[in-house]
Amino acid sequence: MNWTCSEGHYDNGTITCKVPHLSPGQYDPDGNLQYNVDVALNGQQFTGKPLVFRFYDIRLERIEPGFASSEGGASINIRGKGIYDSAIKRVKFSCDGGEREVTADWDRKQRCLTCIVPPLTWLWGGEEVPEEKLNAVKANPIKMAITFNNQEWIPAQDFRYHDHTVTRIAYAHNFMGESAEPEVRETEWLAEQPEEGVPEDITEEELQKKEEEKQKVAEAETEESTTISKRKGYRLFLCGTNFLKSDQLVARFSWDGQITKTTSCIYKNLGMLATAIPDMGAEVPEGEHLLTVEVSLNGQQFSAQNIQFLYKSVDPNLTEEELKKMDEEDAKGAKKPAGKKK
């Protein structure tokens, strides 16, 4: 029989000892780590009535999702091998400014730990933190660790606080209607699009002129999206800042705070996503209505800039021919300068 011994100390009817370390090779990490614990008062003779003790070889592998808004509130799953349910389950978020512990729950079905991400400022105890310091922390990973006994902390994968914004909407005219090479068009629609770089030899005056031109285009696209209506299925570009490539990219379309629909997004680059207008349903009256669009990078927390565009709700009983005619009229309207909304 293979014994591992540890020195104990007696005090008021209780023997206390430190759990011995099991070196690699002493155990099978994927096997049964259950041991018998017995006591000898003279170092030789044991009681022969051992108690059961179990080691846990916990290997944390991933956090899903691996980021959340600095406002906190997202639910994350901590996955790995050897994770188990315990009376004590705590998760620690820490950075150079401080740390915060939260209680975790055991998801029996998924066999993982879940917890709610605390607001970033809670790592400083909830006190007011300068924006510069918050931005510095968001630029680097947050350290995470879990404990099942309030003594040993097991390091987990890095986590990030990440904020994004939606600034405007642009109609994706080039990806609508008939095309001579539809397969090429669809491939481009699904592909990432590099951000426009700045030439190294450009002068300050040329750079300023270039930025002014980009601003004019953005203003024209914004005016068009709020004065020329589009119906379900029309493709959009969602422009903003700090977008991330994620499997959980979602756009939420809302009308009058009553009807809400979501649709998946395609990541184009840090400042642009692509999506299509969903069918808002018969609950939205026929006619033109402003819809609000917000974006979530993790499927839970959405932006809050209240960016809007003009949506056209149509009779669901229209024939394909009638809808095609409507699309042709929309296409003609898209080629005309955007007019003033009455």
Q: Can you give the pLDDT at residue 293?
A: 97
Q: Can you give the pLDDT at residue 32?
A: 60
Task: Quickly name the fold that domain 165-194+209-335 has.
Answer: Immunoglobulin-like (2.60.40)
pLDDT at 104 over 50: yes
Q: Can you give the pLDDT at residue 173?
A: 87
Q: Can you give the pLDDT at residue 335?
A: 55
Per-residue model confidence as pLDDT tens digits over 118-175:
999 999 987 888 899 899 999 999 999 999 989 889 999 999 999 999 999 999 988 8
Looking at 39-43, 292-296, 333-337, which range is the least confident one? 333-337
d(CA 274, CA 191): 10
- CA 53: distance to chain centroid? 39
The domain locations on the chain are 16-56, 59-161, 165-194+209-335
Which has the closest alpha carbon to 276: 320, 238, 236, 227? 236
Q: Which amino acid is at 252?
A: R
pLDDT at 89 over 50: yes
φ/ψ of residue 208, rounded to 5: -65, -40
Task: Quickly name the fold that domain 59-161 has.
Answer: Immunoglobulin-like (2.60.40)
For residues 318-329, average pLDDT: 77
Q: Can you give the pLDDT at residue 22?
A: 72
Q: Can you give the pLDDT at residue 26?
A: 66
**Residues whose CB falls within 8 Å of the CB of residue 244, separated by 6 or more in sequence, listed in order:** 67, 162, 164, 267, 297
* Domains 59-161 and 165-194+209-335 equal at CATH topology level: yes
Do strands 259-264 and 90-95 pair parallel, antiparallel, or not at all (unpaired)?
unpaired
pLDDT, averaged across the chain: 88
